Amino acid sequence: MKTKIFFLSIFSLFLLVSFVAAAPCTVTGYQSCSQQTNNFHDTNSFAKVWYNLKDLSSDGYPANGYAVKKLFFDYGSEGDDLHIVEDVNSWDDVDCDEYGITLNSGQDFLIASDNGQYPIASSGEYNKRIALVSYDYDESSGWWSCVYTGYGWVGTSYLNYKIVQCEANSDCSGGQICNKAGDWKSWSCVTPECNVGQTKCEGTNSFSCSNDKWVNNGATVGQCTVQCTDSTQCGAPDESEPFCSTSGNVVKTVTTKVCSSYACSGTPQETAVETCQYGCDSGICKGKPAFNYWWIILGSLAVVVIIGIIYFVKRKK
């Protein structure tokens, strides 16, 4: 903020008395305000300017170094003229005379309206020194005075904003979101492909929602009927309980599983467990039969009986 006064008597160049005052300045609903009064002899010049720096975001104000769609002054003023000055090296380069604002650096643009909106930028990056300056002139009884007051960015102070299409989802409408992927120049409102937490299958490919877009995760175990992507994920071979083969030995079936077309499968194969000398029963080899003495006794008795019968027959003859 800068204020400056200038006065001159058109009748005399003797020492004169001038009263310049800068009073506290506030305007309801505006962020910045500056005013200045110059009372010289019978003259009274008064300049005042106020503004908001705004954009087209949901709350109307640029933030975090970004302005949405457009950057502009929402301003008002009191005085004879309102000016935009750009690229001024110092407030000391700003002055006034009976004809208006004078500059030793930068550019001066007269604004026709005392209040309204002044567009600053609408695309790309804006990095510039810019200020609003109000000027007022008064003359009375051969005396005149001028005064100006300004507010903005001059010297080493720069108004620096990146103008983007959106900075938050609230800057978009119709259910769209602000896609901030990539460089800020490409930020834009887009319709989301999906919502956070959503998943879907396309064949054996699993998709998840990331940054409001579908991401193809490919074949994922446990998703989209995918049991495996590698045979090591199929687990240990399946083995049956031992049983008796047709040849009388103990065998079992072993199924070694392999991953094929994202599913675990295998062909059972008979594997020998034990060769049985005396046969197999219920999956167990039979032991050696025990010696049965009753057969010897019965055999001996049979022999004795036969011999006895033969002897008896021979004697009868």
14 and 141 together in one domain: yes
For the stretch 199-224, pLDDT in tens is: 999 999 999 998 788 999 999 999 99
Going through 234-292 in order, the beta strands assigned E by DSSP cover 238-239, 243-244, 250-255, 258-260, 263-265, 269-274, 280-281, 284-285
Cβ–Cβ under 8 Å, residues 174 and 26:
no
Q: What average pLDDT does the chain have?
A: 87
Q: Considering only residues 23 and 270, tell me which one the structure prediction assigns the higher pLDDT.
A: 270
Cβ–Cβ under 8 Å, residues 126 and 71:
yes
132 and 258 together in one domain: no
28 and 121 together in one domain: yes
At residue 88's C-alpha, the angle toward residues 92 and 9, to 5°, is 40
Residue 18 clears pLDDT 50, i.e. is over it: no
**Own/partner long-range contacts of 283-289 (Cβ < 8 Å, ≥24 apart):** 283/241, 283/242, 283/243, 283/244, 283/250, 284/242, 284/250, 285/249, 285/250
For the stretch 276-299, pLDDT in tens is: 998 999 999 998 877 666 777 777
238 and 145 together in one domain: no
Position 219 scores a pLDDT of: 94
Residue corresponding to tokens 């954009």: 55
Q: Please count the structural domains in the chain.
A: 3
- DSSP H helices in the chain: 293-316
Position 13 scores a pLDDT of: 29
Residue 91 lies in a domain: yes
* Local structure of residue 63 (DSSP, 8 states): B
221 and 243 together in one domain: no
135 and 205 together in one domain: no
Q: Which residues pair with 124 in a beta bridge?
A: 163
122 and 201 together in one domain: no
Residue at a domain's end among 164, 183, 213: 164
116 and 214 together in one domain: no
At residue 309's C-alpha, the angle toward residues 303 and 315, to 5°, is 135
Domain hosting residue 209, numbered range: 195-226
